[in-house]
Amino acid sequence: MNERYSRQILFRGIGEDGQQMLQNKHVLVIGAGALGTGNSEILVRSGVGKITIVDRDYVEWSNLQRQQLYTEQDAEQQMPKAISAQRRLQAINRDVTIEAHIADVTPTEMEQFAPDTDLIMDATDNFEIRMIINDAAQKYSVPWIYGSIVASYGISYTILPQSSPCLNCLLQGMPVGGLTCDTGGVISPVVQMVVAYQTAEALKILTENWSDLRRELISFDIWSNDHSSVNVDKLKFVDCPSCSTEPIYPFLSQSQTKTEVLCGRDTVQIRPASKETRNLEDIAKHLSNLGDVNQNSFLLQFRTDQNRMIMFKDGRVLVHGTNDATEARSLYHQYFA
């Protein structure tokens, strides 16, 4: 077995058999922010055979404080997070297959990615996507590990289809509002704590050490030194629409919002009604007389005196400087439709 994993192989919970299992497994990481970069790096360094990373955003300066795979150059070039993460991870371990997808996760993406996956890592920042993950995980019987951070607070829970309560059991629907990293801030140590909980569970699942899994929901505040561990087994809902014996997977079947206000970021995302690959060079030429245009291989940035907009190849546009969906749609149709 490769010398690079020798210390991991010495650990009795993994050993040579467990290391071979890791090399034959595929993990889907949804989100390439703080939790996504931390989770991905540990799994890649551990020798998981294939990692698929899906993220819709690009690297900004505010990310560098806690999102460990990115550099100042990534922020300067506004590189898509999935691409920057892939490049850095491939440099860490060339033996791991790493796929990167610049995409907004909708039911379509989850139906595409989930069936060929051994484990899903939640590294998202909103419950709309988490509920889609939850339904897809239940439909295709894929374990997934929920993780969330804000300020100095973190939470993690491992969800096993047909066994544990699912996220819909625990929440009984979609939460509304709440503090986010963009409104309440976040400190880096809480990221590392949640990543540690998530990846420890991931290694247990991927090496099939099922009896060692933590069957509790963990939450803590690393600043105020609070910590709790709660058994939520009794919250499994017999009529849950996502995980009962007759599920309807409600979050896979509902149509997704085409206009989304990104909480706390003074930004609105516009997603076109149908997927299409846009020619960024042609669009850049068209916009060059209307404002300042900067472009790389994955996205273009367009600035006017009042607004800044980012367009990705899949047609998505981030309208910065407003949280008014009507205004954002107007700007989208004015310049990109």
- Give pLDDT tens digits for 32-60: 999 999 999 999 999 999 999 999 999 99
What average pLDDT does the chain have? Answer: 92
Q: Are 197 and 72 part of one and the same domain?
A: yes
pLDDT at residue 224, as a whole number = 97
pLDDT at residue 88 greater than cutoff 70: yes
Q: Are 59 and 109 part of one and the same domain?
A: yes
How far, in Å, CA of 303 to CA of 292, rounded? 5
Q: Are 279 and 319 part of one and the same domain?
A: yes
Residue with tokens 């801030």: 185
Annotate 290-329 with b (16+ C-beta within 10 A) or e (fewer): ebebebeebbbbbeeeebebbbbbbbbbbbbebeebeebb
Query: Of all residues in the chain, what percent carry a pLDDT higher than 90?
Result: 74
CATH code where residue 313 lies: 3.30.310
Q: Which of 234, 253, 272 is the last residue of a domain?
A: 253
Q: Are 190 and 287 part of one and the same domain?
A: no
312: tokens are 């990705």
Q: Are 290 and 321 part of one and the same domain?
A: yes
pLDDT at residue 59, as a whole number = 96
Q: Are 239 and 268 part of one and the same domain?
A: no
- Count of the separate structural domains present in the chain: 2
Lowest mean pLDDT across 239-243, 301-305, 309-313: 301-305
Q: Are 137 and 272 part of one and the same domain?
A: no
pLDDT at residue 255, as a whole number = 57
CATH code where residue 27 lies: 3.40.50.720
For residue 318, give its domain range. 259-335
Q: Which of 207, 234, 253 is the last residue of a domain?
A: 253
Q: Are 234 and 274 part of one and the same domain?
A: no
Q: Are 307 and 170 part of one and the same domain?
A: no
Q: Are 331 and 245 part of one and the same domain?
A: no
Q: Are 300 and 280 a contacting pair, CB within 8 Å? A: yes
pLDDT at residue 325, as a whole number = 84
**Side by side, which strands form the sheet with 317-320?**
259-262, 267-270, 317-320, 308-312, 299-303, 292-295
pLDDT per residue over 173-189, tens digit each?
776 556 667 667 899 99
pLDDT band at 333 (very low <50, low <70, confident <90, very high): confident
CA nearest neighbour of 34 among 110, 201, 131, 148: 148
Average pLDDT over residues 74-102: 97
Q: Are 168 and 244 part of one and the same domain?
A: yes
252: tokens are 């896979």
Q: Are 196 and 237 part of one and the same domain?
A: yes
pTM of the model: 0.86
pLDDT at residue 261, as a whole number = 74
Q: Find all residues with CB under 8 Å of 177, minimum gap 6, and list them.
A: none
Q: Which of 236, 253, 270 is the last residue of a domain?
A: 253
CB neighbourhood size of 165 (10 A): 20
Q: Find all residues with CB under 8 Å of 53, minimum gap 6, and list them.
A: 29, 32, 36, 40, 82, 85, 86, 98, 99, 100, 101
pLDDT per residue over 246-283, tens digit each?
999 999 986 555 778 776 678 899 888 767 788 999 89
